Structure 1
Amino acid sequence: MVRFRGRLDYLLDLHLRDGLGSLRSGVTNLLRMGAYQLFHMGSVPGYAAVSETVDQVQALAGKGLAGMTNGVLRSLGREGADEARFPSFDEDPRGYLTSWGSHPRWLIDRWVERWGPDEVRRLVEFNNTIPGLYLRLMAGGETTSSAVSRLAGVGIEARPGPPGSRTVRLEAGTDPLRALGALPSIVQDPAAAWVVAHAGPVSGLEAADLCAAPGGKTMGLWSEGARVVALDRSAPRLARVGETSRRLRARIPSVVAAAESVPLRPRDLILVDAPCTGTGTLARHPDARWRLGPGDIEVMARVQDRILEGAATAVRSGGLLLYSTCSLEPEENEDRVEVFLREHPEFILEEAPDSGERPPGDAMDGAFLRALPHRTETDGAFAARLRRR
């Protein structure tokens, strides 16, 4: 339901004199659920969706609002939810992308300013689909083709993932635990795998992942031969890294510590997969679009600056600091890199190496890894290589 909340709210608002915002949250959510059952759950007859919702609203808020609910949902059922009922893309692209596209207006406004309405339309359409489920293979001789064959041997359909990701895409409805049992692998989107690939060859390097939980990129570095330590400020979240490493028989030391103050001697490679708004993962986490507000970007940018300051002390001379997010917002990505380089002239922005696994060209933007979901058909991701002189 949350994926199409913008559509549902637009339609409901048309039938409420004082608007959806005038209702208490519990009633609002029941109306949304009733509308969702009408338009998106073919297994529920319309009369049953209306009747059940009316009963729930009456139990919560009394007969008056139950009568209102009955009238609103019956009207919606008669009029339908065709795209033609929404603002026209040609005449009001931002209204269309907010309502039919089902994204907050503030996010649509900033994206349209950057990319234009046609490209944002592609982005919101991708975000309103259910994303693929991928396994990232651990190194050790297994190719994506041999992995697909191995899975087929146990009755699991899959196909190779995008180039440079060392992933396979499982068919919809596949039990991921069963697939994990058949292959030494982790569940990971190709965009996250590209972040590790953007580090270049890491075999033999001493590395640390400063925001490690839940551990996907930590395992990717280990798989490629790095001697990696996992750090995270949350002990319960760090325990998930331990569970995965034990399953894959990986020896990965872990340390509960804040990335702003790294308790390690300098390393060859420091990965900062920073906390962020996650606007590149709204297909995978559709609820996040409604939890975020415009002020969250600035809040996260300040957190990212502090983490980068701490990370700088942990990179040896000649070493690499790999900064990444799953945000699409420049304030969390290239702006943070620009500020960091201005304050740390001992670091330089470095192009990706030519050797090893590499992200495909449509995921690159000069020296930056920049996976945009509607272009790469993956989660969004950003990464920058910062070399200490």
Structure 2
Amino acid sequence: MGKQINEREVVLEILMEITENGAYSHKILGDVLSKYQYLEKRERAFITRVVEGTLEHMIEIDYILNQISKTKVKKMKPVIRNLLRSSVYQLKYMDSVPDHAVCSEAVKLAVRKGFSGLRGYVNGVLRNVVRKMDEIEYPKEDVQRLSVKYSVPEWILSLWKKEYGEAITEKMAADFQKEKPITIRCCMNRVTPEVLKEKLEAEGAKVEAHPYLPYAFYLSDYDYLEGLESFQEGLFAVQDISSMFVGELADPKAGDHVIDVCAAPGGKSLHVAEKLQLADEVAARENGTEKKTGRVEARDLTEYKTDLIWQNIDRSGLGNICAVCKDASVFDEYDKETADLVITDLPCSGLGVLGKKPDLKYRVQPEDLEELADLQRKILTCAQAIVKDGGTLMYSTCTVNPGENMDNVHWFLKEYPQFELDDITENLCKELRSDVIEKGCIQFFPGVHDCDGFFIARLKKKA
């Protein structure tokens, strides 16, 4: 099929959906790229880069526009605002696109969208941006300087600076804007890491070993993920290394009954199911007995989410896992003390994954953090009752907000003294052992560690 779309118009429509209608960037971008899969790799890459880049640098872009335009960004018509934002991103960050082309294409698009009366305004603003870009003075004050430089809201930076200091705060903010390859987990029930690497390289992809885990790789230089034969065969899963450590630290034992209470799309559940299958097989060989059949029950709130889990289960080829629709914040007496291992990777502010979901930093508000911490405590209250005596509760979030992490752990230990932190040091690679907090917890920081921002705690119920 030949090209039938204008890439910049697609970018504009995506940005309108995200900034004006509340769509999630990773979801709508994925849907649009699937819809226009017939486009060349270069064209799809342009759409992805401009959408993600505009969102990543939006505070800085708005700052630049406010220095140039008499009409401030907040007062602009939404279409013009997002058209100018994506154009400024191209002018400042994409050397491969000539300035005159950015300006002329923006004017044409404004006309096509019914704003012919503003063609002179669009052209004038962008040509002034080209002329004055290098003369614009940025803020000098610390938090405001970092906010404009890295496009992170000031309240988030102030929170991090108070908790972690300025050095880690700037490392995190800078890391969110870096382009990185995706991280994948080798599905060990189907293939060895060595064979997977060979297969992916034969398919033309670039594969690099991750320093933290032997079955994790960085993957880049491929055309389309779903187009890789190795992906179609279920030989690997896309999963950040920090998320893999939930399964690594959970360390399921042969015959365990495992419940993951907020599992969608299922990456952690499947990783644990894979480890559990291996543990069952090893135990059967060593003991010369019939193989134990440990099970993983991956739960989530809606049928949409459990359908996503089932799709990934089908790809995995694992037979020891199922998906169940269930509300994690409502306790079911039937579940009481039935699980050897409970995984609670809970809804959170997502402040550790702003590099992958840049719109989150504009979406989340300070008051949301307390509401999320309350929800997390409500779910933990239900989850702890499912754990058998001597069993394990894994708690994790993809945020770097202490109120959702260590504060919750301290609250939990006070409320439920039958639990204690379980030493995780031996389950970590040597590069991470010095980062363990209070024996049973670890906080990953983007820019400090080779992964997303993420928190994990392992809690043991006393026998």
The answer to whether TM tops 0.5 is: yes
Q: Which residue of 1 aligns with 2:296?
A: 228
In structure 2, which of residues 263, 267, 283 is the aligned counterpart of residue 212 of structure 1? 263
Q: Which residue of 2 aligns with 1:300?
A: 372
Q: Which residue of 2 aligns with 1:99?
A: 148
Quick one: which amino acid aligns to residue 205 of structure 1? D
In structure 2, which of residues 86, 107, 123 is the aligned counterpart of residue 54 of structure 1? 107
Is the CA contact 1:233–1:256 (under 8 Å) kept in the aligned structure 2? yes
Query: 1:282: how far off?
Result: 0.8
Query: 1:154: how far off?
Result: 4.1
**TM-score, normalised via structure 2 length:** 0.77
Tell me how far apart the structure 2 counterparts of residues 273 and 166 of structure 1 sit (CA, whole Å): 21
Q: Percent identity?
A: 28
Query: 1:373: how far off?
Result: 1.1
Give yes or no for the alignment of 1:35 onto 2:92.
Answer: no
- Matching of residues 104-115 of structure 1 within 5 Å: 104-115=153-164
* Cα distance, 1:109–1:66 mapped onto 2, change above 3 Å: farther
Is the CA contact 1:201–1:356 (under 8 Å) kept in the aligned structure 2? no
Q: Which residue of 2 aligns with 1:321?
A: 393
- Structure 2: which 5+ residue stretches go unaligned? 1-53, 277-293
Is the CA contact 2:233–2:315 (under 8 Å) kept in the aligned structure 1? no
* Cα distance, 1:165–1:341 mapped onto 2, change above 3 Å: farther
Is the CA contact 2:193–2:214 (under 8 Å) kept in the aligned structure 1? no
Q: Alpha-carbon deviations, 1:331-388, whole Å to 9, x = none?
A: 1111111112211122112221625878833653342121111111211110111211
Tell me how far apart the structure 1 counterparts of residues 435 and 181 of structure 2 sit (CA, whole Å): 17
Q: Which residue of 1 aligns with 2:176?
A: 127
Give yes or no for the alignment of 1:342 onto 2:410.
Answer: no
| 3-state secondary structure, aligned to 2:391 | strand
Tell me how far apart the structure 2 counterparts of residues 288 and 16 of structure 1 sit (CA, whole Å): 27
Q: Alpha-carbon deviations, 1:234-282, whole Å to 9, x = none?
A: 1111111111111221121221000122543520000000011111111
Tell me how far apart the structure 1 counterparts of residues 459 and 124 of structure 2 sit (CA, whole Å): 60
Tell me how far apart the structure 2 counterparts of residues 356 and 101 of structure 1 sit (CA, whole Å): 32
Give yes or no for the alignment of 1:12 onto 2:12.
Answer: no
Quick one: which amino acid aligns to residue 221 of structure 1? V
Q: Which residue of 2 aligns with 1:72?
A: 125
Give yes or no for the alignment of 1:312 onto 2:361.
Answer: no
210-219 or 280-289, larger mean C-alpha shift = 280-289
Is the CA contact 2:252–2:341 (under 8 Å) kept in the aligned structure 1? no
Q: Which residue of 2 aligns with 1:190?
A: 241
Quick one: which amino acid aligns to residue 373 of structure 1? P
Query: 1:6: how far off?
Result: 1.7
Tell me how far apart the structure 1 counterparts of residues 182 and 115 of structure 2 sit (CA, whole Å): 44
263-272 or 303-312, larger mean C-alpha shift = 263-272
Tell me how far apart the structure 1 counterparts of residues 219 and 105 of structure 2 sit (CA, whole Å): 36
- Structure 1: which 5+ residue stretches go unaligned? none
Tell me how far apart the structure 2 counterparts of residues 135 and 347 of structure 1 sit (CA, whole Å): 33
* Cα distance, 1:363–1:198 mapped onto 2, change above 3 Å: farther
| 3-state secondary structure, aligned to 1:10 | helix
Tell me how far apart the structure 1 counterparts of residues 449 and 400 of structure 2 sit (CA, whole Å): 13
Query: 1:66: how far off?
Result: 3.8
Query: 1:156: how far off?
Result: 3.0
Q: Which residue of 1 aligns with 2:289?
A: none
Give yes or no for the alignment of 1:162 onto 2:233.
Answer: no
